[in-house]
Amino acid sequence: MSEVRYTDQHEWVRIDGDVATVGITKYAAAQLGDVVFVELPEAGRKVGQGSEIAVVESVKAASEVYAPVGGEISESNPVLAAEPAKINADPEGEGWFFRMRLADKSELGKLMSEAQYTEFVKSL
């Protein structure tokens, strides 16, 4: 079973072993509106938890995406360049941004569970 955690910047991260898949939440996608462009990291790039790693542009505005955990990027979603609308259509599935090898599992402890994130969104 994979485990999904959330940040207060509205990223989700799904953990399968030491592989983390990252994207933005349904809430974030709805707030952004129609996504028209996404800038994704290249494989091999190393990032620390909370650092800027991708950019998502909607018709409205540009927003930064932060790495929910530290590690090394292993791949970016190849379909998003041609079909950025996938981010609105299926933000927590086909609209994933990138995968990374997790550096330190203990960083997951700083993130929210699904129940905690749901509460957090309600409070906004």
Partner 1 sequence: MSDSTNQNLRRTPLYALHIQLGGKMVPFAGYELPVHYQPGILKEHLHARAQAGLFDVSHMGQAALSGHDPAAALESLTPADVRGVKDGQQRYALLLNPEGGIKDDFMVARLDGESSLHLVVNGATKEGDFAYIAGQLKARATLTPHADRALLALQGPASEKVLSRHAPAAKDMTFMKVARMDVAGAPAIVSRSGYTGEDGFEISIAAGDAERVARTLLNEPEALPIGLGARDSLRLEAGLCLYGHDLNEDIDPVSANLVWSIGKRRKADRDFPAAEKILKLLSDGPREKRIGIRPEGRAPAREGAAIADKTGRIIGRVTSGGFGPSANAPVAMGYVETAFAADGTEIDLVVRGKPLPARVAPMPFVPHRYKRAETVSKAG
Is residue 100 within 8 Å of residue 73, measured between CB atoms?
A: yes
The length of the chain is 124
- Compose the 41-80 pattern: x for residues touching partner 1 by CB under 8 A, - for all others: --------------x-xxxxxx------------------
Among the listed ranges 15-23, 36-44, 67-75, 101-109, the one in contact with partner 1 (CB under 8 A) is 36-44
Q: How many whole angstroms separate alpha carbon 85 and alpha carbon 3?
A: 26
Using CB under 8 A, count the residues that bind partner 1.
Answer: 14
Query: For residues 23 and 15, is the Cβ–Cβ distance under 8 A?
Result: no
Residues that bind partner 1 (CB under 8 A): 33-34, 36-37, 39, 55, 57-62, 81, 84
